[in-house]
Amino acid sequence: MDQDHIKVKLWLEDVIQEDSIPQYEINSKTMSILTQLAERNKRINSDTEIVAEDMRQKAVEYDLEAQRMQKVLDYLGLSLSSLSQSGDHSIKILSDIALLLGLKDCTSSSLLLGIINQSRTLNKVLDDRAEESSIYSKLISKTKSALVQANSLQRTFESLEEQHTLHKPVLEKRSHETEFFHNKAKQYHKIVREAEEYQKSLRLESSIFHENLVKKSEDVNYLKEKSKPLKDKLEIYQDLPPDLSLAKVKVEEAKLQLARLEEQLSSNINMLHS
């Protein structure tokens, strides 16, 4: 049997008769609870014994003081029966005040000290109540402010809920559209990759690409604009008299130059269509 079990058993035998001790399970939890109860009970018993001893001592002191006061009254020829009703009432009031103030005796100095201590206690209580009242007022103010903020937040939340309800169909539609466009973008990327791969597999010349075709078209337009004044000049030469040898030479030169330009123009046009 361990030390704690012995202490608990002795305590139970002291508090309860040995034959009346109930059965209890011996384990760590039960022993811990019973040990704490035993120690607490011993402390309470010790404190109670101290208070009881103090009360016994005070009773002896009060008895001795009563005997002394009785001797004084007997010496003065006074007794409780000889006191007037007002005197008896005053003594009772004085006794009640002494008990209320916790005085050992009813001397003037004890009464004065008791009243001073009681006044200090009263002032402290009043100060504490004033401080508590100030704290209470601050808490009330903060509570009101918090309620105002809570109501404002509630209204804001309700407004946001209404807006969410109103905009929910639009948001869902945009979400579906975004998903649709995203899928379409994937499809287009796939088509572009497939087209690029197909283009690589065909080994097409770069001359048929859009940029080159645009450039060649610009060249054709440039040649057309350049050949236009030559055509006008040729028409002027054709109006000259046929017997002029110089006119024939100029005309032939213009025809040759125009033929070269038309040949280059035809070549560029064929390349555009090829």
What's the chain's average pLDDT?
77
Distance CA 213, CA 273 (A): 10
The tens digit of pLDDT for each residue in 189-227 reads 888 888 777 767 766 555 555 666 677 777 777 777 777
**Above 80 in pLDDT, residue 142?**
yes
Contact, 38 vs 11, CB < 8 A?
Answer: yes
pLDDT of residue 75: 74
Q: Report residue 8 as tokens.
A: 């608990």
Contact, 69 vs 107, CB < 8 A?
Answer: no
Contact, 272 vs 216, CB < 8 A?
Answer: yes
pLDDT of residue 203: 62
Distance CA 200, CA 47 (A): 104
The conformation of residue 207, written as its DSSP 8-state character, comes to G
Q: Could you write out the DSSP letters of every residue in 30-75? A: HHHHHHHHHHHHHHHHHHHHHHHHHHHHHHHHHHHHHHHHHHHHHH
Average pLDDT over residues 60-74: 79
At 41, the pLDDT band (50, 70, 90 cuts) reads confident
At 58, the pLDDT band (50, 70, 90 cuts) reads confident
Contacts of 15 (CB under 8 A, 6+ apart): 41
Distance CA 46, CA 41 (A): 8
Q: Which of 232, 230, 223, 208 is nearest to 263 (CA)?
A: 223
Q: Which of 196, 222, 227 is nearest to 209 (CA)?
A: 196
* Distance from the Cα of residue 110 to its chain's centroid: 61
**Above 60 in pLDDT, residue 99?**
yes
Distance CA 140, CA 137 (A): 5
pLDDT of residue 242: 55
**Side chain identity at 125, as an amino acid letter?**
V
In this structure, the chain runs to a length of 274
Question: Cα 119–125–126 angle (5° rounding)?
Answer: 90
Q: Which of 221, 249, 255 is nearest to 235 (CA)?
A: 255
Q: Report residue 90 as tokens.
A: 């005053």
At 167, the pLDDT band (50, 70, 90 cuts) reads confident
Higher pLDDT, 160 or 22: 160
Distance CA 192, CA 105 (A): 113
pLDDT of residue 210: 60
